[in-house]
Chains A and B, each alone.
Chain A
Amino acid sequence: MERMQQIVGRARAAFNSGRSRPLEFRIQQLKALERMVQEKEKEILAALKADLHKSGPNAYSQEILGVLRELVLAMEKLPSWAAPQPVRKDLLTMRDKAYINYEPLGMVLVIGAWNYPFLLVMMPLIGAIAAGNAVVVKPSEVSENTAKLVAELLPQYLDKDLYPVVTGGVPETTELLTQRFDHILYTGNTAVGKIVMAAAAKHLTPVTLELGGKSPCYIDKDCDLAVACRRITWGKYMNCGQTCIAPDYILCDPSIQSQVVENIKATLKEFYGEDVKSSPDYERIVNQRHFKRVKSLLEGQKIAYGGETDEASCFIAPTILTDVSPESKVMEEEIFGPVLPIVTVKSVEEAIEFINRREKPLALYVFSNKKQLIRRVISETSSGGMTANDVIMHSVVPGLPFGGVGHSGMGAYVGRCSFETFSHHRACLIKDLRWELVNKLRYPPGSMEMMHL
């Protein structure tokens, strides 16, 4: 795989030339990306449709809107983000210059995922470019149309040497991971996350891992159930459940379980009509392998709604399971599909305990009219991020870092956080060669009396 070495070598040489460092250059590249997204909107939407059956408006709002927003933010804020940050000085450094200099790390590797295939390569790429790095982009081979399009488009708009796209599957990615990078951002599953970190360890490369897990959703008896269920339905079934921060399962009191089911049913009809399969707004499972995986989670479960599948088109209807046992298969792994299990719990204490017995999730949701209860759930659990009284939305607040904790990941990005993740924060202290008198206090021969001055 010499080609891989050549590609990475060329990008590193391009970085070492220094041309990605001036802010003007970076903004120029970001502007080019903006043009790309605007000029090639049709092609991007077509690729997303081919890969995941995403409808136009859906794909636009899920993948293009966020990218354009991130580009505008980066271009606007870059000068302030990149400016050296003076720090508070103490008595000994009063006359000196002390600041944090934000510098590029060098070579960044971005490994994308297939569920939001355009968004999840573009967002990290924007931050890495803004921070002045060279970037190798490796889109997911599972969403092959988008991967192909990204490989075609990026070289048409960006500096060809600094930002190469590498396509391929496991063998190519494994080979890529033997090369030395200065930061790796990986979006995907926990198992591969461990492989990426172990490969990074060989080169002492810092990593940002955006993984997943089972994001719990607790519904308190005291809340507006109709609104709660509408919001949950939206977040759960968007992209056919293939969202890392989708509410994975519901925890609620048995007395409201049937109401929850009825509300979600009603909302589903409102969103997708009587015949879900013919709704242009309902997506498909990405491939046969995942289709079979999700379908097998239905075995032995009480299906309260949905359950229809069609292998030929990788269609799985929006499904709700009730009275699910915590030990069942559907409660073991991240579902990543349009199947919503409801596990009943008698109290918020039980819900908190249930959540804490499991790995820390990427997202956590709680619906309640009681502020105290919400505060308690936040304080007594841990998760990458969380939203109370809605789902997904914490990921679109520009100032909030997006990342996991424990098995759901490490590090964070999006917005300013991306810039900081992809920069080296270099401590700089510039002293004067004069004023030696002050230094005499620290030189030997020392004495304890001098110390106490």
Chain B
Amino acid sequence: NPYTGLVSHLRASWLSGKTRPMEYRVAQLEALGRFLDDKKQEILEATELDMGKPSFEAFFSEILLCKNELNVTLNNLSHWMKDEYVDKNLVMQLDSAFIRKDPYGVVLIIAPWNYPIHLFLVPLIGAIAAGNCAIIKPSEISKNTERLVAETLSCYLDNDCFAVVTGDVPETTRLLENKFDYIFFTGIPPVGRIVMTAAAKHLTPVTLELGGKNPCYVSDTCDVTNVARRVAWGRFFNAGQTCIAPDYLLCTIEMQEKLMPALREAITEFFGPNPQESPDFGRIVSDKQFQRLRALLGSGRVAIGGQTDEAERYIAPTVLADVLPSDPAMQEEIFGPILPIVVIANMDEAIEFINTRPRPLALYAFSCDSKIVNQVLERTSSGGFCGNDTLMHLTLTSLPFGGIGNSGLGKYHGKFTFDTFSHHRGCLHRNMGLETLNTPRYPPYTQQKLGLLTTTFEVKRRGTCTLL
């Protein structure tokens, strides 16, 4: 196996203990910060070459959000690393019981192409913070960013503990044959299954950040202008190639009518009369994806946009009206700048529509009536939820980011990334004295001893439960 040597090398480094001291982790994290600062221009250029990512967007998602995560981690690392002391019962008052955060060892981070820096760097921050060594496997589809990361990351991080592996599907398959102590994968559900199956051979725990069709319900009572802007922003960011983009809209026929001009206005406001000329609108990452998306344009009817340019892999910000659940656009995660609107009669129908489908990574609901937003939240299930906006729940580092069911397992961001890459080890340090207190637990067993044991270990009910 071409990677066994590399994995062994990293494992040897980890066993040497060099990644454990906080100073080491801080130094590596600060180096990551310098990578982002020094290579900012290169990152903007590479992502522009890869998918026409507008500089504004690239700065926001690939630099700013990453630096936020870095700073939150550096600010809190010493606190996160500390042993967490827990409550004890009667017999343990002289003992100390705590949770120790142990690194796992050598972790593997597999990143996708749509936010090619962010989606390896943010997990890597947590992996380093937790004291692990890591192999990073960037996506081969975002070729320019892949090259940038492979060539320059090694100048910033300790090469004995962190390595970048490049390659296609065959290489990734061989990489996955090795034993890792944790695997963090971001990508599509079918590959998530492959990764978890490979991980099962070694009993490697995993976090899978997958995807799905994120529904966006718009109620009849809402400020159409603001809704249109927020939905359009979320849908067309990165030309729609965002795992938590609103995938499709659910609303009544009257709302569809009201939204259309508002959406048209928002798109013009954002990208001008010809989005193809706007520096703020991206392109599709590959010919394969472009063709896949173009085929979806036959769903419903094109109410806004619909223009394409194969040479540039440009698809205009598009809204499809009157889309049917059986249409092609409703069969797969769109992952492009196309927003289908599916008409429903009312909120109950919308909720039923959502609940008969696989649970999505994100779910959105728009209404001026907070009760409606709440109902949609309470009666559905999704990785995350945002009321009256799109994407924004991702930017708050104190919220866990992850899926459920087909949209993923595990979570990260902020402290959750650190916790993901740490083994929480229950530790009890007992006193060697006071041996007489242990007598009730030793044979020969008697009812009397049992009585004593029950008294010391029991959790007593405090009064009656007020709920009943």
Residue ranges of A at the interface with B (Cβ–Cβ < 8 Å): 23-24, 27-28, 31, 55-58, 60-61, 65, 68-69, 72-73, 75-76, 79, 87-90, 92-93, 98, 100-101, 103, 105-106, 182, 190, 193-194, 197-198, 200-202, 204-206, 209, 211, 223-224, 227-228, 230-231, 234, 270-273, 279-282, 356, 367, 369, 374, 378-380, 382-390, 393-403, 405-407, 409-412, 424-434, 436, 439, 442-448, 450-451
Contacts and interface: CB of A to CB of B under 8 A. Distances in A.
B444 A60 contact: no
A387 B428 contact: yes
B213 to A, nearest CB: 16
Given A76-B465, A448-B55, 16 more contacts: A76-B459, A98-B393, A204-B405, A270-B442, A382-B105, A384-B426, A389-B430, A398-B89, A425-B400, A426-B383, A427-B384, A428-B387, A429-B387, A429-B389, A429-B396, A430-B388
Contact of B86 (A273, A399, A426): A399
A427 B393 contact: yes
A70 to B, nearest CB: 8
B192 A204 contact: yes
Given A65-B454, A193-B203, A198-B197, A443 B229 contact: yes
A431 B467 contact: no
Contact of B226 (A69, A427, A433): A433
Contacts of A24: 467-468
A60 B454 CA distance: 10
B432 A400 contact: no
A410 B204 CA distance: 8
Interface stretch (B161-169, B296-304, B406-414): B406-414
B461 A105 contact: no
B280 A451 contact: no
B56 A431 contact: no
Contacts of B92: 393, 397
B461 A76 contact: yes
B214 to A, nearest CB: 13
A427 B399 contact: yes
B284 to A, nearest CB: 18
Contacts, number: 319
Of the candidates B92, B395, B410, B442, the one having the most CB atoms from chain A within 10 angstroms of its own CB is B442
Contacts of A27: 465, 467-468
Nearest to B92: A397
Contacts of B377: 101, 428, 430
10 contacts: A79-B467, A90-B395, A182-B405, A272-B443, A273-B444, A386-B427, A398-B89, A412-B426, A428-B384, A430-B373
A424 B386 contact: no
A84 to B, nearest CB: 10
A405 B102 contact: yes
B459 A398 contact: yes
B457 A427 contact: no
A200 B196 contact: yes
Of the candidates B64, B370, B388, B453, the one having the most CB atoms from chain A within 10 angstroms of its own CB is B388
Contacts of A88: 398
Nearest to A424: B404
B467 A201 contact: no
Interface string B434-468: 01001001111111011001100111111001011
A409 B426 CA distance: 14
A14 to B, nearest CB: 15
A93 B387 contact: no
A447 B383 contact: no
Contacts of A72: 458-461
B100 A224 contact: no
